[in-house]
């Protein structure tokens, strides 16, 4: 029999209670299938309690048992699955981290834009150069009535506009078209084949598998038909080629990726605006001098100076000076809070009319603003319950599309005439390319990122996707204070005079406004605004009488 536990020993902590959260930056994901694959890979690592991967933010949040695994094992697992993972820099602040992410996204956006632009231009060139090779409207793909109808209208116009093109030798045009298509596929389309091969090595499929299979099949068919046309004719088949289709498929998919990337960047605008509340530099006192240093160079205990109208650089405690600080980004209250010696201040808040000297306390990831940013990022990376449905569909989507493409090929070939194979092949390639699971994988994460980012900009923090999904069922909202329901600034609604007041409302407003004209206090601004509003709504005759009265008083 074992000894009984001592009274001081409580119940053993659960494994989930000991878990810590690790965040990874994951790149290379392009669709919901990629996201599902990375998430499954992380979940299979021993010691992982829970894993959540966001395609929109290119990040993963993993809760692990530190006694069984570490962050290095997570990085190796993601890289073994064909993607790139890295740990965020520990000593980098929220502003520096956001700048680095924005720089990386800008570089990716420019590369995508270059590839898409070149592929589109090459597609136009290949399409125009292919017109003389089609042999006229009557030979337009030999068996396609729709193509023949198009060629009847396009071919005469092309002959009139580009007579020199039709004068070139067909072999020269063919070589040029083949080389240009090969260049586009090897340069702009290389990403699809590299990622598809990586997925194949890891026994999975994704959007790149569909694009690589479709364009690769069309390219291979066209190459064989170009090199061995007689082999096709001997079997009653037209040696159709799809050079322009290959180039345009690569171009259009890249354009879709470009638009998707642009949309993903815009969804983070609210988060960037929140991060930008904190200045990039701070003014500190060192050795009796004022120095302008980067935010990362501020140390706990440094005395930081803030002038009127500036945003506070870091969290701290006031040591000298007095002012009123706008803390609405944290509290929602529009009235500035008076601060003096011994009061705490928060980085990112807006200083009023006074100068402050304060001692820096919490910095970097421990600051209030950085923790708010981290909460928003956690909410954006979280998964709503409805997203589980999208994950289940994405897991079988690509294999199902490949099977559907094969079925399309067989059905078209089985029920067609002796020339059905080219049509069947074209239909199968179309199924492969147009069936892309990107929208399915981005729909729910985009909604979460936009909602949580917009909420953060308006001072509302959301714990995650589950809370957002439940918010759709809310029918009653109860507020515990009025500050968050105001317009963000005080406003004089009406003036109530005492029964024996010696002044009228207009004269009272005039005198108050004259006294407060030089003040920057919110209540002073509200009083002056009320006076201006009263003047703007006054009738012309009334304004004229006021002007004459003012002139008499000046005289």
Catalytic residues: 480
Beta strands 281-286 and 303-306, pairing class: antiparallel
Closest-CA residue to 530 (of 500, 502, 499, 490): 490
Closest-CA residue to 87 (of 43, 25, 19): 25
Q: Is the separation of the CB atoms in 466 and 311 below 8 Å?
A: no
Give the phi and the psi of residue 215 in degrees, each rounded to 5. -70, -35
Give the phi and the psi of residue 243 in degrees, each rounded to 5. -60, -50
Cα–Cα distance, 315 to 345 (Å, whole number): 6
At how many degrees (to 10) do helices 32-43 and 71-80 cross?
140
Q: Is the separation of the CB atoms in 188 and 115 below 8 Å?
A: yes
Q: Is the separation of the CB atoms in 508 and 495 below 8 Å?
A: yes
Cα–Cα distance, 17 to 3 (Å, whole number): 26
Ramachandran quadrant class, 287 (left: phi over 0; alpha: psi -120 to 50; beta: rest) = left
Range 401-410 contact pairs with CB under 8 angstroms and sequence separation of 24 or more? 401/210, 401/431, 401/432, 401/435, 402/205, 402/209, 402/210, 402/213, 402/432, 404/431, 404/435, 405/213, 405/429, 405/431, 405/432
Cα–Cα distance, 34 to 20 (Å, whole number): 25
Cα–Cα distance, 448 to 469 (Å, whole number): 9
Cα–Cα distance, 84 to 89 (Å, whole number): 16
196 burial level (CB within 10 Å; 0-12, 13-18, 19+): buried
343 burial level (CB within 10 Å; 0-12, 13-18, 19+): middle
């Amino acid at each position: 029999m074992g000894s009984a536990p001592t009274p001081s020993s409580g119940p053993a902590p659960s494994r989930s209670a000991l878990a810590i959260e690790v965040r990874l930056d994951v790149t290379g994901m392009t669709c919901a299938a990629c996201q599902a694959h990375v998430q499954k890979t992380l979940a299979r690592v021993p010691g992982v309690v829970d894993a959540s991967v966001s395609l929109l933010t290119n990040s993963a949040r993993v809760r692990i048992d530190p006694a069984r695994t570490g962050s290095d094992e997570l990085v190796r697992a993601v890289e073994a699955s064909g993607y790139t993972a890295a740990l965020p820099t520990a000593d980098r602040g929220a502003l520096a981290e956001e700048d680095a992410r924005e720089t990386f996204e800008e570089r990716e956006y420019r590369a995508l834009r270059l590839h898409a632009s070149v592929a589109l231009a090459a597609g136009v060139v290949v399409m125009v150069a292919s017109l003389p090779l089609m042999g006229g409207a009557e030979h337009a793909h030999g068996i396609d009535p729709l193509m023949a109808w198009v060629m009847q209208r396009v071919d005469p116009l092309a002959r009139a506009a580009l007579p020199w093109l039709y004068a070139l030798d067909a072999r020269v045009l063919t070589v040029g078209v083949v080389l240009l298509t090969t260049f586009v596929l090897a340069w702009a389309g290389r990403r699809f084949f590299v990622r598809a091969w990586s997925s194949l090595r890891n026994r999975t499929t994704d959007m790149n598998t569909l694009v690589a299979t479709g364009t690769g099949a069309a390219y291979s068919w066209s190459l064989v038909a170009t090199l061995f046309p007689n082999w096709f004719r001997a079997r009653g088949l037209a040696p159709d080629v799809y050079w322009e289709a290959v180039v345009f498929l690569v171009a259009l998919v890249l354009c879709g990726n470009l638009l998707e990337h642009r949309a993903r960047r815009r969804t983070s605008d609210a988060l960037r605006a929140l991060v930008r509340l904190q200045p990039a530099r701070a003014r500190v006192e060192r050795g009796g001098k004022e120095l302008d240093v980067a935010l990362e160079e501020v140390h706990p205990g440094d005395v930081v100076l803030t002038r009127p109208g500036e945003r506070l650089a870091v969290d701290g405690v006031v040591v000298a000076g007095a002012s009123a600080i706008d803390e609405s980004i944290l509290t929602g209250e529009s009235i500035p809070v008076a601060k003096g010696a011994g009061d705490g201040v928060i980085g990112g808040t807006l200083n009023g009319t006074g100068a402050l000297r304060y001692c820096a306390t919490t910095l970097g990831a421990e600051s209030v603003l950085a923790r708010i940013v981290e909460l928003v990022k956690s909410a954006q990376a979280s998964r709503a319950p409805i997203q589980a449905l999208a994950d289940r569909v994405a897991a079988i989507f690509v294999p199902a599309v490949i099977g559907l493409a094969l079925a399309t090929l067989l059905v078209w070939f089985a029920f067609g005439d002796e020339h059905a194979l080219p049509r069947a092949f074209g239909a199968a390639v179309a199924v492969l390319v147009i069936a892309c699971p990107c929208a399915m994988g981005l729909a729910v994460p985009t909604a979460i990122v936009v909602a949580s980012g917009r909420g953060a900009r308006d001072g509302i923090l959301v714990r995650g996707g589950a809370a957002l999904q439940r918010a759709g069922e809310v029918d009653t909202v109860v507020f515990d204070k009025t500050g968050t329901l105001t317009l963000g600034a005080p406003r004089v609604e009406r003036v109530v005079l005492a029964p024996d007041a010696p002044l009228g409302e207009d004269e009272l407003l005039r005198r108050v406004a004259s006294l407060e004209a030089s003040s920057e206090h919110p209540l002073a601004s509200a009083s002056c605004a009320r006076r201006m509003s009263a003047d703007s709504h006054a009738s012309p005759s009334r304004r004229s009488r006021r002007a004459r009265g003012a002139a008499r008083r000046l005289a």
